[in-house]
Amino acid sequence: MRSIVLRAWVLCWLVLVWVLLWGNLSAANVLSGLAVALLITLLLPLPAVPVEGKVHPLSLLWLLLTVAYRLVLSSVQVALLAVKPSPPLSAVLRAHLSVKSDLVLALAVNIFNLIPGSIVLEIDQSRRMLYMHVIDVGSDRAVSRFYAQIAEVERLLVRAFEREEDWRPTTNGRDA
């Protein structure tokens, strides 16, 4: 049942994107969007992504609020760096994450890429290591602040998706 609902959601989403791209809600656009969506989902299926944890809505809400706060705070910090007389010192820093799921690792990378002032350059998936370019590393305090931000986002991701009591690792794409 879940698989059917998920496929229906993907089809509806693709039809909506199609209609938005054409900029006109008409029967022809909806039908052609449905045809394109069916072709995409049947000819180019995505691999199944194992879901090994459980979503905790309140922790997810706290994660979203924290990320929104970090977006605003980092935007202000980058704006201040832009008007600062001397150029900021930047570097590539390594950050180790202890998340278990590839899905949560991908979500973490997207969060770090969204927050201004840093961007993920490389992901070592097996060791859960991220190599990130960081704009402001001119002081020990700035580097500590960066690592504290990484630790906070990681902690919130684990609380939202990978709590130990809910963790069910998969083997070969099937539930264990």
Residues 85-94, buried b or exposed e (16+ Cβ, 10 A)?
eeebeeeebe
Compute CA distances 24 → 8, 21, 28, 60, whole Å. Answer: 22, 8, 10, 35
- State pLDDT tens for residues 84-126: 888 888 999 999 999 988 889 999 999 999 988 899 999 999 9
3-class DSSP assignment, residue 112: helix
Please give the pLDDT value at position 164.
Answer: 80
- What is the identity of the amino acid at 105? L
Does the pLDDT at position 6 exceed 90?
no
pTM of the model: 0.72
3-class DSSP assignment, residue 8: helix
Does the pLDDT at position 61 exceed 90?
yes
- What is the identity of the amino acid at 45? P
3-state SS of the chain: helix, strand, coil percent to 5?
60, 15, 30
| Gyration radius (Cα) of the chain, Å | 20
Q: Are 153 and 66 in contact (CB under 8 A)?
A: yes
